[in-house]
Amino acid sequence: MNFIISNPMDAGQHHSYFHLSPDLAGFQDAKDHKRSHSVSSFQPSIHPSEVPPQEEEIRLLEREPDGSVCKFDGISEGEYTYDSVLAECTRTVINISGLRFETQLKTLNRLPSTLLGNEEKRKKYWDPVRKEYFFDRHRPSFPSILYYYQSGGRLKRPLEVPLDIFLEELEFYELGRATIDMYKESEGMIFEEQPWDMPDNSLNKLWILFEHPNSSISARIIGILAKHSQGLKILGKTLQLSISELNTFMIFFAIGVVVFSTMVYFADKGESESFFTSIPDAFWWAVITMTTVGYGDEYPVGIAGKLVGGLCALSGLLAISLPMPVIVTNFNNIYKNTTGRGRDM
């Protein structure tokens, strides 16, 4: 009688063979018998008296690290149905214009409303000869799309992929309108909101006046004026996308105002011609100095105060220059998406 025990922790699936003598009584009486292999806790122990008379093979279940069953071996078809579990653990190959990606079906099935997550939608791209899915699409965009499935909804455009090409890939793989809108918003794309019905009253007339330039002469005049407000829209969208950088700048600026106001007050405290009577009174000087405006209505008199003034102006330049690259990049992206002009930065 042969027993084959598979070690689930062995990637090569090597088997350890044990041959039992037909004399089961002798096996039971052997008191110095020792096990050479341990069996996992999820496999019930087998006593020799419980072994059926016919010869059979008993194999353990392969499990994933999280404990889910990934393979059933030694169970006859028809006795149990584990098709769904087997399908979840099946690995599949996705060929993107010659670049092959390998993943599990359970990763794709997390988003059943998408192209790759829906079996009915993706089966028309199945290549029965190569046993893989083939898509003649943009290759550099697909790693981010596959990570969207693996991470459960995190989307990040690769830096080397243009905005419009990545947007086309999102629409092709049917990641959903909400995901596409969030991507557009994160990239600074201005898209029109869906129109909605309004009651027939003064608000409706006012809405028609601003939204339909051809409805009346007044609407045409407003439409002509609105053509020149595109720059203000771009500027407002830029400030909206750069709000985190602006907040950081304001915090740094406020700390600088307090610190340098305190320093210049104590530096000029002994001077008879000092302009600063208190620390809050020096706030105005710190603001115009850090912003490099320099009206000249207030200024330090002593040497120590002038040194503090130089440090204050230098700190203001650094504080202003830190968020500028991010703001300029956001402005350039929004300007290019809105007008079709500009260059990548």
Task: For residue range 10-34, list pLDDT tens digits in order.
Answer: 444 444 444 444 444 444 444 444 4
Residues of the chain with pLDDT below 70 are: 1-88, 190-201, 227-228, 340-345
- To which residue do tokens 């670049």 refer? 99
| pLDDT at residue number 72 | 35
- To which residue do tokens 């455009």 refer? 157
Task: Kindly report the pTM of this predicted structure.
Answer: 0.43
Do residues 267 and 302 lie in contact, with contact meaning Cβ atoms separated by under 8 Å? yes
The CA distances from residue 259 to 79, 263, 279, 295, in Å, are 78, 6, 10, 20
Q: What is the DSSP string of 136-150?
A: -S-TTTHHHHHHHHH
Half-sphere exposure (Cβ direction) of 165: Cα atoms closer than 13 Å: 13
The CA distances from residue 52 to 3, 48, 56, 215, 291, in Å, are 12, 9, 8, 90, 90
In 3D space, the residue among 39, 1, 7, 37 whose CA is nearest the CA of residue 19 turns out to be 1
Instruction: Note the maximum CA span of the chain.
Output: 114
| Per-residue tokens: 53 | 């008379």
**What domains can you pick out in the chain, each with its CATH number?**
90-186 (3.30.710.10), 243-321 (1.10.287.70)
| pLDDT at residue number 210 | 74
In 3D space, the residue among 254, 239, 243, 263 whose CA is nearest the CA of residue 316 turns out to be 254
Task: For residue range 168-202, list pLDDT tens digits in order.
Answer: 999 999 998 889 888 888 887 755 555 555 555 67
Element (H, E) at 209: helix 202-211
Task: For residue range 229-252, list pLDDT tens digits in order.
Answer: 777 778 888 888 899 999 999 999
